[in-house]
Structure 1
Amino acid sequence: MIDKKLFAGARLKRLRKDLGLTQVRMAADLGVSASYLNLLERNQRPLSARVLIRLAETFEFDLKAFAATPDQSTLLSLREAAADPAIEHIGLDVQDLKDLADAHPRAAQALIQLHQSHRGTASDLASLADRLDDRRGLSDTGEQPLQQVRDMLQAHNNYYEELEEAADVFAEEAHLDRADLFGGMQAYLLQVHGVRTRILPLEVMRGSLRRYDRHSKRLALSELLEAPARQFQLAVQIALLELRDLLDQMVMKTDLPSRVSRRLYRMALANYFAAALIMPYEKTLKAAQDLRYDLESLRRRLGVSLEQLCHRLTSLKKPGARGVDFFLLRADLAGNITKRFGGKHFAYAKTGGSCARLAMWHANERSGEILAQAIALGDGTRYFTLSCAVRVPSEDDPRIRAQRILMLGCPAEEAAALIYADAWDSKSMLSEMPVGLNCRLCERADCASRAFPPLQKRLYADETKRAAVPFAFNA
């Protein structure tokens, strides 16, 4: 038991109400007085070890539910909401938001959803105004469906047991040869579904990487795709044909509001199956542990691309057989975050850019290298990250290879499992780079890389000096 006192009155009161108990009844079950329980619920007394154990034994719930703290993604979303011009004058600080998330998690989620809805409406109105101004027609647009799917993946911590099992069962029943996975899947599609696969020139594909014609039962793959990507697209097509009912059931269990978001989620699930089929869970986890997550060696052993491998590593979260708790960010050269996985611990700001101190923004200068960096956020959370630049063929011009930037990271306490962390002293704070989520949400006063002042700090100007940092504000 940790030494820190645990005040969880709101969670205790919510548990009692969910169970339909009065204070007198619950107090009797716990062997305490009703007045003492009242003090616990009002955070006038901390929960003792004896009461916690009695709670677990009497009501059969996980003690971690009372020791849990709000995840980073929730706190970041609350900070973004508090910084909104509509309510920033209230002056909610980080502790206020932590208290809200801890004591009233459902109210915190309500505030987050209200802010996201407000922001989405404002964005849609601005986009609509632009179109009306340009006298163009209206069409379905907006980032909300993408964000809704990302949030759904994060809610599942990017792990789907039913898809892992489906991939294992299919591989066994289809008798796939791991030495020629592409050939095996190609033959299966032809023999079972009557689908013929062809690799077609760029000019024939006209901007598509994969195209399936239901009537002629022809699957076309672009010549732009390299071997790992062709293999992956075959696996995606198998998921869409073989797992139609399972995918539909999984989508129907969600509360995604639009047809677009549901279709996007369905495709995300098909992609997950493809990764699980190409990189079986147990084989991938064992190889990762044997090689200590040496990304290049692991990629070659599994026969996949670096980006495919990084995606897969974020999903190794099977209870009882977990890998390192990775998250992944993918960005373009303009600094836009184009993909994220496993961001329960490390959240990124959905608006306002990122932090210039992250090594990922230097990966393009050192193409082919994997840049290791230990970072520390303003709230004291620490991570170990691996960044690299990868090149993919451009659909516009096959002579040009577009650049993508990947950042794979994990909590600092898990970094010892990585070969890249051997030279890093995890107990020392000296080698860690202080970073923020983005300039508007970061309150570090001594950052020379800052592009904008923080939203919740008051600027001041001193004409007698020019400081090394671009903005002066009350720390």
Structure 2
Amino acid sequence: MDQAAPPDPASARLLKVSLANTLAAAILMPYGAFQTLAEQSGYDMDRLCARFGVSFEQAAHRLTTLSRPTARGVPFFFIRVDRAGNVSKRYASSAFPFARFGGGCPRWRLHDAFGSPGRVLTQIVETPDGQRWFTLARTVPRQGTHDHDLAVGLGCELKHAHRLIHAKGLNLDAPEVTGIGPACRLCDRHPCPQRAEPPQGRPLTVDDWAKSVSPYPFVIS
């Protein structure tokens, strides 16, 4: 706490709560037992939740912490959003390119999860840098309610997907891939019918006599 040097008492209390939550997760889901079952079960979320008596969100969050050098798990990233796309939590033990500002990408099935409450949706996505990721998405209830008004996304680099039971049955050698971006303002994918904003720093090429797939056609370098 002292080394973190929170700037004010409120920040110090928030940090204390965060550290207490981390400790609670470590007690509920001891590293060795959790990592062992994760590997043995193929990272089966249902089995992990049942064995340790935790929620989908808690188990997913714990998976992002399995980075002990002598017992590493799959390096996952984690994100939680509401129906409007606001990000309320995100963690990563991998290099997934989270957007710091703006909304998420509507092509990612994370946002489709609200249409199938409680169901795990899988998708292989490709970010603009060419990196491919295997992702899971599922709705979860907000604390203190039973309404599934939050969605959790969990993912890893595609090269690790063969270790996951949730990827069973998918052709990982020649997968069906969906291109996504961090946010429309930061994404150079063209054409994209889902584009909601023009990309930053790209001149638009609007044609008075033709309608394009994207409402914001732009110059491709």
- TM-score normalised over the length of structure 1: 0.45
Question: 1:433 deviation in Å?
Answer: 0.7
Q: Who is 2:21 aligned against?
A: 271
Indicate if the aligned counterparts of 2:76 and 2:94 stay in contact, CA closer than 8 A. Answer: no
Q: Who is 1:329 aligned against?
A: 79
Question: 1:460 deviation in Å?
Answer: 1.9
**Aligned mate of 1:359, from 100, 109, 113:** 109
**Aligned mate of 1:463, from 189, 205, 208:** 208
> d(CA) in 1 for partners of 2:209 and 2:38?
57
The C-alpha deviation readout for 1:233-271, integer Å capped at 9, x for no partner, is xxxxxxxxxxxxxxxxxx122254333333222211111
Which amino acid is the alignment partner of residue 289 of structure 1?
A: E
Question: 1:414 deviation in Å?
Answer: 1.2
SS of corresponding position for 1:387: strand
The C-alpha deviation readout for 1:73-101, integer Å capped at 9, x for no partner, is xxxxxxxxxxxxxxxxxxxxxxxxxxxxx
SS of corresponding position for 2:151: strand
2:188 paired with 1:443:
yes
> Relative CO higher for 1 or 2, CA cutoff 8 Å, sep ≥ 6?
2
The C-alpha deviation readout for 1:40-67, integer Å capped at 9, x for no partner, is xxxxxxxxxxxxxxxxxxxxxxxxxxxx
2:171 paired with 1:425:
yes
> d(CA) in 2 for partners of 1:456 and 1:425?
37
**Aligned mate of 1:454, from 199, 217, 221:** 199
The C-alpha deviation readout for 1:164-191, integer Å capped at 9, x for no partner, is xxxxxxxxxxxxxxxxxxxxxxxxxxxx
**Aligned mate of 1:299, from 23, 44, 49:** 49
When Rg is computed on C-alpha atoms for both structures, the one with the higher figure is 1
Which amino acid is the alignment partner of residue 445 of structure 1?
A: H
Indicate if the aligned counterparts of 1:394 and 1:401 stay in contact, CA closer than 8 A. Answer: no
5+ residue gaps, structure 1:
1-250
> d(CA) in 2 for partners of 1:260 and 1:337?
21
5+ residue gaps, structure 2:
none
> d(CA) in 2 for partners of 1:446 and 1:322?
39
SS of corresponding position for 1:460: coil
2:150 paired with 1:404:
yes
The C-alpha deviation readout for 1:278-329, integer Å capped at 9, x for no partner, is 1111111111111111111221122111111111111111111011111110
Which amino acid is the alignment partner of residue 297 of structure 1?
A: R
SS of corresponding position for 1:461: coil
Question: 1:380 deviation in Å?
Answer: 1.0
Q: Who is 2:219 aligned against?
A: 474
Which amino acid is the alignment partner of residue 447 of structure 1?
A: C
Which amino acid is the alignment partner of residue 173 of structure 2?
A: K
Structure 1 ranges of 4+ moved more than 6 A = none
Within-5 A mapping of 1:8-407: 251-342=1-92, 344-392=94-142, 401-407=147-153
* Gap change, CA 1:454 and 1:348, over 3 Å in 2: same
Indicate if the aligned counterparts of 1:368 and 1:389 stay in contact, CA closer than 8 A. Answer: yes
Indicate if the aligned counterparts of 1:327 and 1:346 stay in contact, CA closer than 8 A. Answer: yes
What is the aligned-residue identity percentage? 37
Equivalenced residues, count? 220
Over aligned residue pairs, what C-alpha RMSD do you find? 1.7
> d(CA) in 2 for partners of 1:375 and 1:328?
15
Question: 1:426 deviation in Å?
Answer: 2.8
SS of corresponding position for 1:252: coil
Question: 1:393 deviation in Å?
Answer: 5.9
SS of corresponding position for 1:440: helix
The C-alpha deviation readout for 1:204-249, integer Å capped at 9, x for no partner, is xxxxxxxxxxxxxxxxxxxxxxxxxxxxxxxxxxxxxxxxxxxxxx
Higher percent of residues as strand: 2
The C-alpha deviation readout for 1:412-436, integer Å capped at 9, x for no partner, is 11111101112223332x5111000
